[in-house]
Chain A
Amino acid sequence: MTDDTINLTIDGETITVPRGATLLDAAQAAGIDIPVICYHEATTPNGLCRICVVDVDGGRVLQPACVAECQADTQVETRNTRVLRSRRTILEMLNASVNLEQAPEIQQMMTDYDADGARFPDAQLREAEVIDDNPFYVRDYEQCVLCWRCVQVCAEDAQYTFALTLKNRGHETSVATAFDISMTESPCVFCGQCVGVCPTGALKPKVEWGMEQGWDAREMRRATRRPRKREDGA
């Protein structure tokens, strides 16, 4: 161990990590799997899905491994009773609000953590109509888990376009454009990065969606045609 490294114990195994490493970095280095939903290498971590929580020294609250830094000489448990209950309950609550049919990674987590997809009967699903307002992609916010990644890449994490925001709050939160204008009216430049970072089927290339709808080649061409340049040159 040098000044630049620290030791800590994860699930009984003592490891040495660089100072400043996150608990997620440390677990990955030790070959321990910690699930993540909102975390993405290309975006600023917000530690908001909390599926990556771990127990550090039996502390009052659990720590989000994606953002919490390793502390020297701590005991970290990534799969104890507290951790498993939180992960399982988060997944069960999420499944009650969001259509996760096209989120295979989260479905796999449901299996891994013994989450009951019907745990919360009579729960309010965040229903939404599919928004098909541009030739490049469609938005189905019924499948949105609110990981924020699309809003982040549209803003300072990548494109500086600021077409997207979050509206309302709490369980009513959704991703939206300003005043819900269409994507073609918004500042969107159709860079596609939001579609690339979406962890579910909430954002989907138009062609993929068309194939699911069973479009033929002619329908596909019509639906994905780029808008004609306007006469005023805009």
Chain B
Amino acid sequence: MNATTDLDNALDAYSGRGREALLPALWDVQGALGSISPENVQRISHILRVPEADIYGVIGFYTLFHEEATGRGIIRVCADPTCALAGADDALHGVCARLGISEGETTEDGEYTVEHSPCLGLCDYAPAALVSERGMPDKSLPRVTAESLLGAWDDTYFAPAGDAESVMLDASLADAPQTLAQYGDYAALRQALADMTPEEVIAEVEASGLIGRGGAAFPTGLKWKFTRAAPGAVKYVVCNADESEPGTFKDRVLMEHRPHLLLEGIALAAYSVGASKAYIFIRGEYPKATAILAQAIREAEAQALLGDHIMGRGFSLDIEIRRGAGAYICGEETALFEAIEGKRGFPRIKPPYPTTYGLFGQPTAANNVETLCAAPLIINRGADWFCSIGTEGSAGPKLVSVSGHVGRPGVYEIAPGMTLRHFLDHVCGGVIGALRAVLMGGAAGTFLLPGEIDVKLTFEDLRAAGSTFGSGAIMVFNQTTDLRDLLLRLGRFFQHESCGKCFPCQLGTQRQVEILERLDAPHAGDRERLLDVGMTMTEASLCGLGHTAGIAVMSAIEKFPDIFGAQPSVNRAI
């Protein structure tokens, strides 16, 4: 069967659908042909009744979509801090040199395109790369070198995770995702459907003290309660699996290890809020987790654990996987809704909040992967058990992603309350070399100095210390780290990922990079410029990306004043 026939068949399936099908349709076209031509945009425009200009705008927004032909294989090497420390630049430049091209170019024979990528969520296997054949990202590659990138693409990795006490993770999973038979028949959902009203499920989750694990730390039970109470006949659950914060990869490990834990969590959320449709929006850079979840949904539907009349009862739930296409901003929940609706991933003005006006304008509970995975545990073991782990303000087990200069980078399940020092020394294999700094919370996070690591790993202690737990990213840097280079990489990340909607972030992420690029030879007043840009982004931006795009740089100005040069202060009047 040739590509054109494939494409015709693929597009036939979209007949009668609308704009919400735009991203899946673009993926199908690109998967069949390698890129999305004006002719195919015209066809999609007719089928989905979306203006051609709008489709063109959508293609240009998402970095994994291409309007022009690329190489048969696209190699994307991570350029973010952890991978850079592990030699990502050498791998990228080595491949380019061997192929005789520059970064961003395609070889003359059309075989390869090589470019850099934002964090691929494989920081525990740094340096990482993502490769696509004919336009579809299909392999995440661990520990790449110039040689391995030009050889057979081997995506064999399975992060070991968990220990004897783990409940979110499962130490017995040695080399494959947990099957339905290993996981069990959704006992928490069975109990909820048989013995509990939706309100009782929500009450149990509220009593557990579970707060969101995506970074914003909003109480989960309250979110479900608001969504259930909001007027509207149709409601949605959206699982935010767009994990893209540099240094964060816990959701990837959860999905790759325990897909059924997540699916059961989504089902409990849907039962609670009164939804019969749920979406998992997963970043396009996670091909392995996407395939594992798709398989798990098929397994569960075959056993009537998902689908129509689950367990023979009145509750039905359709879970649909949606692939992102390269946009960190879609981790912002309203931008994520826009992406599912087939638009550019622009964050919306809030209020209204998703619990009353979310996906397709309906009440929506949008939850992070790890948050949803906690729900079955809470129903199975009870809110009291959950509260007994951690602290009052940080109840329950928490996953952290640790990367950089430590003995054993990876995902760890901890009881909040242990100190960062204990975690580094006794849990993740110790710091390699002399500790220079810990970046907490990812690119949007803050730095801790070696003298500050006795802080307890809880939401409240880190907040009180002027830091953040965020999504649980812990990036460790030793004395060999070039902090100016590190900051420039963080700055470039935000410059690349700003959606461009609001002026402070669109302009501020650009101005910030321009100044970070000249840190070795700064202009007088650059420190004040960075502070004005950072504070303006923090206070005046439209969404969380802009609010945090200057945080790491401002934190560095406070913690590492030396790297900004001894320069006369301009002290402009405000």
Q: A residues near B, CB below 8 A?
A: 37, 46-51, 53, 61-62, 64, 67, 81-82, 84-86, 88-90, 93-94, 96-97, 114, 119-124, 145-146, 155, 162-173, 176-179, 186-187
Contacts and interface: CB of A to CB of B under 8 A. Distances in A.
B55 A90 contact: no
Contact of B542 (A47, A166, A173): A47
Nearest to A163: B53
A81 B574 contact: yes
A61 B53 contact: no
Interface string B360-403: 00000000000000000000000000000000000000000000
Specify which of A62, A90, A93 lies most central, judged by the most chain B CB atoms within 10 Å of its CB: A93
Given A53-B540, A86-B539, A90-B536, A171 B38 contact: no
B41 A169 contact: no
Measured as residues with beta carbon below 8 angstroms from the partner, the interface class of chain B is: 35 or more
Nearest to A121: B523
Nearest to A63: B540
Contacts of A94: 503, 507
A179 B38 contact: yes
B54 interface: yes
Contacts of A167: 56-57, 60
Contact of A146 (B41, B500, B535, B547): B500
Nearest to B59: A167
B52 A178 contact: yes
Contacts of B511: 93, 96, 120, 123
The 6 residue pairs across chains A and B that have the minimum distance between CB atoms: A162-B51, A165-B57, A173-B500, A93-B507, A171-B510, A165-B53
Given A89-B535, A169-B344, 9 more contacts: A48-B501, A50-B542, A61-B540, A86-B539, A86-B540, A165-B56, A166-B60, A170-B509, A179-B67
B507 A171 contact: yes
Contacts of B510: 93, 97, 123-124, 170-171
Interface string B50-72: 01111111001100000100000
Interface stretch (B246-254, B490-498, B556-564): B490-498
B227 interface: no
B38 A61 contact: no
A62 B514 CA distance: 25
Contacts of A62: 539-540
B54 A165 contact: yes
B38 A178 contact: yes
Interface in B469-524: 495-504, 506-511, 514, 518, 523
A220 B438 CA distance: 65
Nearest to B495: A170
B540 to A, nearest CB: 4
Contacts of B344: 166, 169
